Each structure stands twice: as C-alpha cells, then as structure tokens.
Chains A and B, each alone.
Chain A
Amino acid sequence: MMVTTPRTDLRVALFATCFNDTMWPETPKATVRLLERLGCRVEFPAAQTCCGQMLTNTGYAGEAVPLVRRFVDVFGDYDAVVAPSGSCVGSVRDQHAMVARRAGDEGLASEVEQVAPRVHELSEFLVDVLGVTDVGAWFPHRVTYHPTCHSLRLLRVGDRPLQLLRAVEGIDLVELPGADECCGFGGTFAMKNSDVSVAMGTDKAAHVAETGAEVVVAGDNSCLAHIGGILGRQGAGIRSLHLAEILASTREEPA
C-alpha cells in the first residue's frame, strides 16, 4: 500500500536533461506524473538546457563553463532538483565544481557546491527525500534492472531503484547477471571506440536475454539506447524502459 506524506512544502524543479527532453520526452513526462501523484509541486524552469557532461568528458571542459553557470542560475533557488538520469546528476555533483575550478572561477565553484547537494537522481529523491519505496505503481511484466555505472559508482544509489521496483504491483523482477558491469555506452566512447563499446553491449544484451525478461529497466536512457539498440538489432523482442516510466505506470495509465 502506498504511504506518502505530500511534500507540497518543497519547491521541486525537474531537470529533464537535454537528452531526455529531445529524444525521450516520455521519461520526464513520467517523472512529472509520478512526482505529482506523490504530492509534489513540480516546476520545469524553461531556461534549463544541459549539464555539459558530453563536453567535459570529451575534453572540452572549458566549453561547459557557461552551462555550469546556467545550471546554477536556473536551479539555485529550488529546494530540490530532480533528474531522471544518474549520469547527468553525476556530472552536476561530481564535475561541475571541477569544471568551474579548472576555468579559475572559484566563485562559480562555491555556488555549485551550494546547489549540488540538492540535486537528486530520481530514485534518491523518492527514497531519501520523500521517504517512499512503494510509489503505487502497477507493471505486470517480467523485468530486469541494469544499474548504470554513474548511478552505481558516482552517486552510490545502491539498491534504491530495486527497493522501488520490488514494491511495484504485479512486477516479476529478475536479477541481471553481471549487473554491475558497464554496458559500454560511455558517451562519446560509444562512437570513438565503437568496436569495444559494441562488444561490451553485446555481452550485456546477452545477460539481459538470459533472464527471460520482457523489459530491461535502468535510470539512464543513454545506456538504454545502447543496450536497446543492440537488442533491437538482434530482434530480441525485449523493450527497454526508463525507471521513471515503470514507477509512473498504473492500471489507468500503463507504460
């Protein structure tokens, strides 16, 4: 049974992330639906763009400085910022201060350090801030969960996503072998080292298929695009879905 105390006292901002905004709008939509169902007032500050991770991780940290500036300006006043992406939250919490310092902007770095602790990946926000694991979701399918590297090793979300998934009504959650191994996406790595990336992804896809799951779920659409892209090419008939979409799924509005 879903138990929640509505947190209408919090000013919650959705950081949709540029990737989701452009390519996977269903994920931020599901995030809004889910958070509102749990009693949050969600705002989408339209001035937001991107965390700059792709630039930083490709070696262009200098080009990311205006994006760090923008992030702080757009989100600085909110009580909580929620993003359906472990990777983008990892970039804010782990890299933004470094990007600012590398550019010699100590002022910006300290502003980042004010905002960063209030930026949460979706499962962190649900479990740690709202204090819920049963979000009242319904998803009657066989599902396996891939913990993305940045959720696992940068954010240390631990088993929060699994706690949330276990509480979903009707779900048949099966363990993914070699779950903590990277899927091989890695941002521009997927293009610059495409052979190794595909070799890693092919092993991940094989593990997914081994579980007999109908759906592979993760907290990052970028990793899912890679795993799902390989599964799709193989004609495996396995869907990839973001965690937010399963948690938002109900009998009335199934994912």
Chain B
Amino acid sequence: MSTLPVQQTSPTFVGMPSFPEAAREALANTQQRDNLRNATHTIRAKRAAVVAEVPEWESLRVAGADAKDEALTHLGDYLEQLEASLTANGATVHWARDADEANAIVVEIARAKGVDEVVKVKSMATQEIELNEALEAAGIAAWETDLAELIVQLFGDRPSHILVPAIHRNRTEIRDVFLREMAKVGRPAPEDLTDEPARLAEAARLHLREKFLRARVAVSGANFAVADTGTLVVVESEGNGRMCLTLPETLISVVGIEKVLPTWDDLAPMLQLLPRSSTGERMNPYTTMWSGVHDGDGPQEVHVVLLDNGRSHVLADTVGRQALRCIRCSACLNVCPVYERTGGHAYGSVYPGPIGAVLNPQLRGTASEVDQSLPYASSLCGACFDACPVRINIPELLVELRGTVAEQGGHRAESAAMKAAAWVLSDPRRLAVAQRGATTAGRLVGDRTVRRVPGLGAWTDARDVPTPPKETFRQWWARERGES
C-alpha cells in the first residue's frame, strides 16, 4: 500500500451506510427504479448501436488506453510540460494537493474579482471537491448551467449519474421543481409550463440566459488537458458549457492531474471514444478547446487548477492505476445491472457505478464502511469491462480491492469461514468428509423443497435452496468405476 495521502471524505458522504444498506433503501423506491431502468436501457441501446458501426472500435480502445497509460507512466513530466505550455499561452497554473487547497484557490480568485456569483460548466472534479459549497460559504453563488445539473441543484439533491445526473428524476418531477424553485434564484419558469421536453428546455434556456450574460467569472473542469499544446478541452451536448467558456472575462478550470494527454494527436481516439460511449452519439454537438488567453476573444484571464486529491495514491498502485484512465463517459454505469437497480446515491460519492466502486476506495482509502463495501457491490458480470472505452478491467480491480479490504481484517467471521473453506478444499479427503454433511442433509430432506435454513436468511428470504443429493459425484464415481 502506498503512503501517499488519500482523499478526505467530504462532509456530504461522511457516515454513509454500507452499499448493501443504501441499496436496500434505493430498491424500495419504485419510481426511481422505473426511471433508471428506462434511462439506462435507452442509452445502453444507443451506445451499442453506434459502437457496432465502428469496425475499428477495438483498436480505438487500445489507442485510448495506450495514450492514457503513456501519460500516467510519465505523469510528472507531462504535467510540467502542460504547465509550461499553458503558461506560455498566457494562462496561470495553480497546483492543489487536495480539495481544500483547490477550493481556496478558486475562492481567492473569485474574491479578487469582486464577484458574488459564478456560472459553472458541468464538472466532476468540482463536484468531487464540493466547490459549490465552498463558494457558498464564501458568499459566492455557484450557478450550475448544465441542464441536468441545474435540475439537481434546484432539487437541492445530489447527482446520481456522471453524465445524466438527474437520471433518477422524471419529466413531471422536473416540471414541478422548475415551477417551485426557479423564481427563488432568478427568472421564474412560465406559469403554464408542461412536462414536454421542449418546454422544459425552453424554461431552462430563459432562466440561464440572464446568468450567462451577467456573470463575470466562470468555473469549469476539463475532459482533456493536452500537454504539448497547452490546450484544455470540454466536450458537451448543450452549448451551455460554451456560453460559460466564452462569455465571462475570467475562466477558472479545475482539472484532475490524470486528465493530461501527451499530444494533440491523442485527442483523435478520445474524441471518437467519448461521445459514442457516453451519450451514444457519433459526435458530441459542442467541443470547446482553448489554449490560454487570446486578445479580445474569450476570457482574458485564464486559470488552471491542477488537482491531485488522492490521485497520486491511486497512481502508486501498479494494478489500480488503470482506473485513472477513466474519461468519465459513464458507459459502465449504463450497462451495470447493479447500478441500474440501485442508482448512484448508494455508492456514497460523486463517482457511482462500477467505476465508482473501484475509484472511491482507491482515492479515499478503505477506512470507511461504504468504501469497504464498494468493491463487493458487483456480481463481477464483466459488462463494465466490455463497455469501457479505455479498457479499464473493472472486475479485476474489484477483486484486487476485495483483497485489500480482506487483508485489513474487516470481516472477522467471513475471514474465519474462508480460511476454514480453504483448509477443507485443499485436501480431497477433508472435502469428502465435509461433503457427508450435504449428503446426510440430502437423505433427510428427500425430495422436499427447502425453504428455510437457519443462518441462510440472506438466501432463503426470497429463494428456495437446492436440495442436496444423497450421493456426491465423487462417491458415485468410486462406486461405479471402482476407483478413488
């Protein structure tokens, strides 16, 4: 295990229950389950269709993984190159070890500009560090401008998906929150608002427009940071991000250090992999790239905050570091049968789903109950690995992390049971003795159905138990073939 610092769990997620407990609550929410099933199945089918039409998909995946691995293997060098390129382009580069440092940098810049509000581009990094809360504490309002993030913000809710953060809400719920909340923070929604998507989008457009035109500072993340050209890239669908990236005079981008790509050419596979994997589109509608400051065009003051916040800790693990390839496309969420049923909140982090189940315990360590439970929040079905555009072997990482959790000795009874099982299974004579328990039960039970077994409630509450046989295969073989 690395001694590099892990990410501090934010106040929002401290004391989160373990995954199975949170999942039980989520499963009981039938409206949310319907919303999630519809949304994940729709996007799953879209992704499958646009991936299937690219014959060289597999080589694109390899190219994407290679570019990321190259960057991660020489991360220090590429970050220094990125800093030099950005600085040469007129940007100011800041380094943040953790969330507190990053938040302090952003607050300080906003204060220096004398503003009481910022507009925000959808960004996972700023959610991770809970920048909005930090700005609010400093008396600065942070307006989310991505439609779904706006919805989540109006609900006072937390995102439950990386790409579609309001996936757990449906149209009617959204109309209601627009009517109820928009007026409190700006232009109200039209009184005759319906739940038609076009009407909802129009209400959001009008509400956001006045913020775009008024704001003097914008905050973003970045999908990619190109080291050789000093270029940041934001990929989006709505154009609201571009409003933020081009209108305000000051732009602050919080960028995880794993976002760096060595060269401009590395964008070629990435810009094909990302939209097809995330929204199921051949190409995303808006790709904004900016390389520092340009006179009279776009923001005249450009800041880039390079954020570690546990990433160096992940990088130090030779198996685990592949999780840093993640480009936040959320394909793994959309194909995950567990995520589909529980939604994102059960994962206790802004990073839910399969990637969250491996990333959070690596970024934050495995001290908390929820982080210890996340590596087990998977049936290891492998759908995530197949869908991942940068070939992160999530099942392999889950198993590896289960090893980390088990080595901590977290589950004493389980550890004893596994050691006992290993002792029995490492010797065929011991196994044969243990099997007598099953065959004895088999003879006692006969052909009856077993509905309850003491201590096996987790199984028998909803499932019958297979009837044990009267004779094991091993016994049959010895009897029939006279060998043993």
Contacts and interface: CB of A to CB of B under 8 A. Distances in A.
A39 interface: no
B380 A57 contact: yes
Nearest to A87: B380
A150 B466 contact: no
Contact of A195 (B20, B407, B422, B426): B20
Contact of A193 (B376, B463, B469, B481): B376
Nearest to B337: A182
**Interface of chain A: mostly helix, strand, loop or mixed:** helix
Contacts of A23: 438, 466, 468-469
B76 to A, nearest CB: 27
**Interface of chain B: mostly helix, strand, loop or mixed:** helix
A196 interface: yes
Interface stretch (B120-128, B279-287, B472-480): B472-480
Given A28-B473, A186-B378, A233 B426 contact: no
A211 to B, nearest CB: 19
The list of the 3 closest CB pairs from A to B, nearest first, reads A186-B379, A59-B406, A229-B463
A229 to B, nearest CB: 3
B473 A229 contact: no
B435 A49 contact: no
Contacts of A21: 431, 435, 472-474
Interface string B393-431: 000100100111111000000110011011001111001
Contacts of A174: none
Given A54-B421, A186-B380, A191 B458 contact: yes
A58 B418 contact: yes
B379 A182 contact: yes
A61 B483 contact: no
Nearest to A152: B382
Contacts of A233: 451, 462-464
B472 A192 contact: no
A149 B403 contact: no
A16 B208 CA distance: 64
Given A20-B473, A194-B459, A196-B338, A49 B431 contact: yes
A102 B407 CA distance: 13
Contact of A25 (B27, B462, B473, B483): B473
Interface residues of B, number: 63
A217 to B, nearest CB: 16
Contacts of B462: 194, 198, 201-202, 229-230, 233
A22 B379 contact: no
Given A63-B422, A230-B463, A233-B451, A189 B380 contact: yes
A225 interface: yes
A154 interface: yes
Given A25-B473, A28-B473, A47-B428, A153 B381 contact: yes
Contacts of B431: 18, 21, 49-50
A55 to B, nearest CB: 6
Given A24-B469, A189-B376, A48 B383 contact: no
B204 interface: no
Nearest to B398: A57
Contact of A196 (B341, B380, B406): B341
A192 B20 contact: yes
Contacts of A230: 462-463
Contacts of A153: 381-383, 385-386
A102 B403 contact: yes
B106 interface: no
Chain A CB within 10 A, most for which of B23, B27, B425, B469: B425
B59 interface: no
Interface stretch (A1-9, A64-72, A132-140, A161-169): A64-72
A18 B425 contact: yes
A250 interface: no
